[in-house]
Each structure stands twice: as structure tokens, then as C-alpha cells.
Amino acid sequence: MKHDEVITRAIAQASSNGEPNKGIGAVGATNRMAKNYWDRRLGLKEVCALLNVTVSALKVGIATGTLPDGRPCPKVVAVTGSRAIFFDGIEVKAAMHGMRVEDLVEDMKLDGLL
């Protein structure tokens, strides 16, 4: 899969909730206001390290919705003008643990992390 195809799908994912795709300014503001690590927007390489997958595998996951090992791929929340891809930290943590996002959020609330 070509990088341009992945970027096109990532932009579609980032704007799928009806809002336009947010740029790097929105990502930076979110990261500055984050209460903990998982409230941040995480970059492509950071997510690859956390999920223990290659960049190519993560790009395939963006396109298909599933990582090669069967876990759901976290959703893209922003693609910048320079085509950097960002993910929501909670989505990444859910993918790390093989949980649904809703279940993870509920667990984090019970633990006092949210």
C-alpha cells in the first residue's frame, strides 16, 4: 500500500466524526493540556513502539482497521499538513490491552485515572 493511500484513509478517519481534520496546532494544544500520558495525541512512531508493530504494519492497520496480529487498530484523530499521523492515547492503550475503548475508559474511571 502506498503512503499516499494511507494518508488519504487516515484523513478520512480523522474527519469521520463530522468535524474537519485538525492540524498540528490542535495536536499541540491537546498535548499541553493533557493530565496524563494517555490524554495526549501520539505520533506514528510512538504508537508503533507501544503496540510493538512496524510502521508498515500500522499503516496496513490504518487501511484495514485491524493490525496484523488481529488487534483493532487505533483510530487516527489528526493528520497534519506535513502528513504526520496522530492517534488518541486512550485508543492506543485499548489496542495495547486488547480491550474496547469503552471498557478501558470505565476501568480508568474506577481507578481514578479519568
Residue 72, judged by CB atoms within 10 A of its CB (0-12, 13-18, 19+), counts as: middle
CA 41/CA 88 separation, integer angstroms: 5
CA 79/CA 56 separation, integer angstroms: 17
Cβ atoms of residues 79 and 11 within 8 Å? yes
Q: What is the mean pLDDT of each run of 10 residues along the chain (114 residues)?
A: 70 63 56 71 89 89 86 84 82 84 78 70
E strand or H helix at 42, and its extent? strand 41-43
pTM of the predicted protein model: 0.73
User: Would you state the pLDDT for residue 41?
Assistant: 82
